[in-house]
């Protein structure tokens, strides 16, 4: 179960409960037959399903103490970031005001442009070096022990599954609450494989062997996937072609069954607040970026207000989010409201599945009609039969 639906966060590896094993697509998965591994994962791993029992029932977009539209007031960050630059600006605010000693976040691995590397940022320059989305596998909890001793405090930026694992770990290791003062996340549609990244570079005309730099988004909104080869030649591909047609077609298995792509367990989570066209579908033409910001608890709300009042961020109330988000974040809405139907199809076909609370799944499923559920059920069965799932 835990190996098949591994999220690759690296937490169990850090606690010496398992070892890495790379699969055919290039994903690192935690592997162990030790009882201690399964016992540890029962308590912390998002792949088990029950670790999401704290998600709020019936609220598709998750618990919140306030939902806002926002972007960085620093024009260079606003342009360079993947969307509005809110998380980057929050990290800068924390460091500038000495509220933490550093930011634990992810950046491009300089030795492998399609890879990632966990980084500790202590300066503005280091934070900006991590600015922008990374559409490749990351394991930000692999070396978490490095940050849980000593006297320093940190903010953590990671995928929703990383934050969930860290929240769960905090319940059995008090060092987490002592040292990780803030947890930030973002809307996530899945972690693409190494093979998908190689295909992306091939499609761009750069190729993995010659690539020395790869940026997936930013320098505009949504911006272009941009690769640079060893000769200094630049290659670009538009967002739809890079994500929808390439990277998004090969993501971790768990990502397809994730119930929390919206970062509900973070203090603050951000997503793209796409503009809608006349057909009520998101426009992906270049524009000034903006984030939808979910303050998930009072701690997150207090921080967001402090940062906006200090001039780091804009802040606009967003009372229409329940109506508009299903339109421009349709993948997140669809995945959460139909997960109960998807799990039922897996059961019928004798497949393993994350053991989410039936009550939780039912509360989300009330948002969609029976006809839509039947269509989803049939589609899932068909994909399983054709071995596409």
Give tens-digit pLDDT for 48-62.
Answer: 887 777 899 989 999
DSSP 275: P
Give tens-digit pLDDT for 95-148.
Answer: 999 999 999 999 999 999 999 999 999 999 999 999 989 999 999 999 999 999
* Contact status, residue 106 vs residue 140, Cβ threshold 8 Å: yes
Average pLDDT over residues 271-276: 96
Average pLDDT over residues 192-208: 96
> How many Å apart are CA 103 and CA 80, to the nearest integer?
19
Q: Which residues contact 285 (CB under 8 A, 6 or more apart)?
A: none
pLDDT over threshold 90, residue 388: no
* Contact status, residue 227 vs residue 211, Cβ threshold 8 Å: yes
Q: What are 80's two structure tokens?
A: 């360079």
DSSP letter string, 248-259: GGSB-HHHHT-S
pLDDT over threshold 90, residue 387: no
20: left (phi over 0), alpha (psi -120 to 50) or beta: beta
Give tens-digit pLDDT for 236-259.
Answer: 999 999 999 999 999 999 999 999
Residue 253, CA distances (Å) to 24, 63, 115, 185, 383 in order: 13, 26, 19, 20, 13
- pLDDT on residue 106: 97
- pTM value? 0.96
Residue percentage of the chain with pLDDT more than 70: 100
Residue percentage of the chain with pLDDT more than 90: 93
Q: What is the mean pLDDT of the chain?
A: 95
pLDDT over threshold 80, residue 261: yes
Q: How does residue 3 score in pLDDT terms, banded at 50, 70 and 90?
A: very high
Locate tokens 């967001």: which residue?
304
Give tens-digit pLDDT for 20-45.
Answer: 999 999 999 999 999 999 999 999 99
Q: Which residues contact 183 (CB under 8 A, 6 or more apart)?
A: 155, 156, 158, 163, 166, 167, 265, 266, 267
- pLDDT on residue 389: 82
> How many Å apart are CA 195 and CA 165, to the nearest integer?
26
- pLDDT on residue 164: 96
Q: Which helix (H) or strand (E) holds 316?
A: strand 316-317
């Amino acid at each position: 179960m835990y190996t098949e639906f591994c999220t690759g966060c690296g937490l169990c590896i850090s606690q010496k409960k398992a070892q890495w094993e790379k699969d055919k697509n290039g994903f690192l998965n935690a592997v162990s037959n030790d009882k201690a591994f399964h016992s540890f994962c029962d308590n912390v791993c998002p792949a088990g399903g029950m670790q999401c029992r704290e998600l709020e029932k019936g609220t598709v977009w998750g618990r919140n103490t306030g939902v806002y539209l926002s972007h960085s007031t620093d024009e260079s960050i606003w342009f360079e970031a993947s969307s509005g630059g809110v998380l980057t600006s929050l990290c800068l605010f924390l460091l500038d005001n000495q509220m933490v000693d550093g930011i634990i976040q992810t950046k491009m691995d300089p030795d492998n442009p399609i890879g990632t590397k966990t980084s500790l940022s202590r300066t503005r320059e280091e934070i900006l070096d991590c600015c922008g989305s990374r559409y490749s596998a990351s394991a930000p909890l692999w070396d978490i022990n490095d940050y849980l001793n000593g006297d320093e405090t940190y903010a953590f930026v990671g995928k929703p599954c990383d934050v969930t694992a860290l929240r769960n770990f905090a319940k059995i290791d008090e060092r987490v609450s002592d040292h990780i003062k803030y947890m930030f996340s973002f809307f996530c549609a899945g972690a693409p494989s190494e093979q998908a990244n190689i295909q992306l570079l091939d499609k761009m005309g750069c190729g993995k062997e010659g690539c020395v730099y790869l940026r997936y988004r930013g320098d505009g909104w949504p911006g272009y996937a941009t690769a640079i080869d060893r000769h200094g030649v630049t290659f670009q591909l538009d967002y739809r072609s890079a994500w929808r047609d390439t990277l998004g077609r090969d993501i971790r298995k768990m990502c397809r069954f994730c119930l929390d792509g919206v970062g509900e367990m973070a203090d603050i989570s951000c997503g793209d607040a796409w503009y809608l066209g006349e057909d009520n579908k998101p426009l992906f033409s270049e524009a000034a970026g903006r984030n939808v910001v979910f303050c998930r608890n009072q701690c997150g709300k207090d921080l967001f207000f402090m940062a906006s009042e200090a001039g780091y961020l804009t802040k606009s109330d967003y009372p229409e989010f329940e109506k508009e988000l299903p339109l421009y974040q349709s993948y997140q809405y669809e995945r959460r409201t139909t997960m109960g139907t998807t799990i039922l199809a897996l059961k019928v076909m004798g497949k393993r599945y994350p053991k989410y609370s039936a009550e939780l799944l039912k509360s989300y499923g009330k948002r969609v009609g029976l006809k839509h559920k039947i269509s989803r059920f049939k589609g899932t069965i068909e994909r399983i039969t054709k071995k596409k799932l």
